[in-house]
Each structure stands twice: as structure tokens, then as C-alpha cells.
């Protein structure tokens, strides 16, 4: 098995960082676009899709800025992150998604994230 590499995707979004952060860091917000059902307990999110459940531990977070999560089944050094940045040039809000994938899977994984984020943007009226 080849080693996974970190990749990053950027999505401009017409939304305040505070509202966007709610959709990225709370069970109710994540359940709107990321998973069918989301629970949070003891710093761990439980995500359910069609009866399959995955758990992700919150590694770090800063309100209105970012949340970094680690899938419990993944190697220790891997994580996924939602970061909110403000463009210095255009002053628009940018959602940055960081994740790990094998090099040959980055394109497919990126398309999956694009699909998910498109659903997020639909939910926030973007």
C-alpha cells in the first residue's frame, strides 16, 4: 500500500465565517451536508451514511477559523481539516479542505469533496 499524501482544495463561498463554521463544526451543521446522521460526544463525532458509521476525533479547533479531525481507523499522522480564510485581495471567504489520499486517488477524492461542498453551499444558500 502506498503512503497517502496531504492535498488541499479551496472553495470561495459567499457566507460569513461564523455561519460557515457552524456548518463545519456542529452535529446539526454537519448533518445538513456531510453525513446522514451526526452525533458528538467526548470530543468525537460519529458520522452515519446509509447505516455505516465512522468516528472522527477532534484534534484541534478554533472558532470561526478551523476544525481538524482524525478518522479513528486512519493512521495517526492523517487528518482532515476545514479551514476558513479571508482573501486579502478580494475579501471573500474561502473554505479550505485538507485531506489525505493516495496519489492516484486524489482526483477521485477531490471530486467527492467537490460534491459534498456543493451540497454545503446549497444548504447555506450560496
Rg (CA), the chain: 14
104 DSSP assignment: G
Is the pLDDT assigned to residue 9 strictly greater than 90?
yes
In this predicted model, what pLDDT tens digit does every residue of 70-123 receive, in sequence order? 999 999 999 999 999 999 888 899 999 999 999 999 999 999 999 999 999 999
pLDDT at residue 126 in the model? 79
Residues 6+ apart with CB under 8 A from 99: 6, 7, 9, 80, 81, 109, 113
Instruction: Name the grid cell of 76.
Output: 495517526
Please state the domain count of the chain: 1
Give the global pTM: 0.93
pLDDT at residue 2 in the model? 67
Strand order of the β-sheet with 44-49 is 5-13, 93-101, 80-86, 66-71, 52-62, 44-49, 37-41
pLDDT above 90 as % of the chain: 90
CATH number for the domain harbouring residue 23: 3.30.530.20
- Residue 59: give the domain boundaries: 4-125
Amino acid at each position: 500500500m502506498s503512503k497517502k499524501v496531504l492535498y488541499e482544495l479551496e472553495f470561495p463561498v459567499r457566507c460569513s465565517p461564523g455561519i460557515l463554521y457552524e456548518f463545519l463544526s456542529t452535529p446539526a451543521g454537519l448533518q445538513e451536508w456531510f453525513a446522514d446522521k451526526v452525533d458528538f460526544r467526548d470530543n468525537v463525532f460519529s458520522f452515519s451514511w446509509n447505516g455505516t458509521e465512522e468516528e472522527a476525533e477532534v484534534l484541534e479547533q478554533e472558532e470561526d477559523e478551523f476544525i481538524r479531525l482524525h478518522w479513528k481507523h486512519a493512521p495517526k499522522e492523517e487528518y482532515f481539516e476545514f479551514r476558513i480564510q479571508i482573501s486579502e485581495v478580494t475579501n471573500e471567504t474561502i473554505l479550505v479542505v485538507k485531506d489525505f489520499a493516495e496519489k492516484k486517488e486524489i482526483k477521485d477524492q477531490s471530486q467527492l469533496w467537490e460534491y459534498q461542498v456543493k451540497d454545503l453551499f446549497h444548504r447555506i444558500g450560496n
